[in-house]
Amino acid sequence: MYNNEIIQRDLNLTTFENSLEEHHKALMSDGLTVVQRSMIDHNISAISTLYANIYFTDLGKKIGVSAEAAEQVAAKMISNGTLPASIDQVEGLLIFDYEQSPAMIQNDAIMNFCINLNRVTEKVQRALVTTVSTTGRI
C-alpha cells in the first residue's frame, strides 16, 4: 500500500485476513469487512492516480467487486472527502480530479516534452533540407 499499488486478492491477503480477530472480520453496513473496505478504498485511490476516468464496470473488475459496489464505495469516498472525483451516473463513469494526480501531471509533462522535441526535430530537418538543396552538400 505504501507504493500506492493496486492490491490483488492473493494468498498473502487471505492469510492476513485469517489471522485477524473476529471483531476485525465484522461486517459493516455496506456488507464488507473492515479489511475488504480498506482494500477497496486503497485500490480506488491507487486507480485514481492512473486514470482520468473509468467506467464502474471496469473499476469493479479491477478491484474485484461489482460495478454497483464500486460505485457505492466511490460515492462514500467522494462524500467524505477522501476521493477528489465526481460520478456520471448516466454514463456509469467515475471522473477523477486528475489535476490532483501526480501520475497525470507527470504524463502531461512527458507529452509536452515529446511535442516540443518533435517541433525541434522538424525544424532541424527542414533546415538541413534547405541547406542541402541550396548548397548541394550537408
Q: Are 49 and 30 in contact (CB under 8 A)?
A: no
pLDDT average per 10 residues of sequence, the chain (138 residues): 64 72 77 80 88 93 90 92 91 82 65 83 86 76
Q: What is the DSSP letter of 10?
A: -
pTM above 0.75, yes or no: no
Structure confidence at residue 3 (pLDDT): 58
Q: Which residues contact 98 (CB under 8 A, 6 or more apart)?
A: 51, 52, 104
List the grid coordinates of 41.
Answer: 478504498
Structure confidence at residue 54 (pLDDT): 95
Structure confidence at residue 138 (pLDDT): 66
Q: Report the C-alpha gap between 125 and 86 in whole angstroms.
A: 45
